[in-house]
Copies of this chain bind each other. A is one copy, B any other.
Amino acid sequence: MIVRFSEVDSMGIVWHGNYAKYFEDGREAFGKAHGFSYLDVYANKHLTPLVKLDFKYKTPLEYGDSAIIETRYIDHDAAKIHFEYTIYNKKNNAIAATGESIQVFLNLKRELVLVCPDFFIDWKKKMGIFMNKE
């Protein structure tokens, strides 16, 4: 991911709110790599809005910097999707920011789904996430 001119504020550093896009980029890349995207979720008749989002800003990203976004899936039994993120600045390997997000499942009537949807359980199995628990 390369920092866009439009993402930088008048201090010459990435405006803090833009890290929400970078975390989303991380989720997208994770979804692409592991077969779990917004479009898959929607095809399975669910929405997954965020209920929690945290940022810790460590060192600023500047215009022209390249960054690497590391996205880790944290498993829970409950019907939620938990990711942790670390953004590294490529030029010096410094951590630019860390954070986490939690998403829940809604059905297409926008009602909260309290039990893990089948397609999510299938995905976990495919990922081998249940293995260690059995």
Contact = CB atoms under 8 A, between A and B. Distances in A.
Interface stretch (A8-16, A76-84, A87-95, A117-125): A8-16
Contact of A17 (B8, B20, B38): B20
B51 A56 contact: yes
Identical copies of this chain, number: 4
Interface residues of A, number: 35
Interface stretch (A21-29, A67-75, A126-134): A21-29
B49 A57 contact: yes
A101 to B, nearest CB: 8
A50 B4 contact: no
A55 B57 contact: no
A8 B10 contact: yes
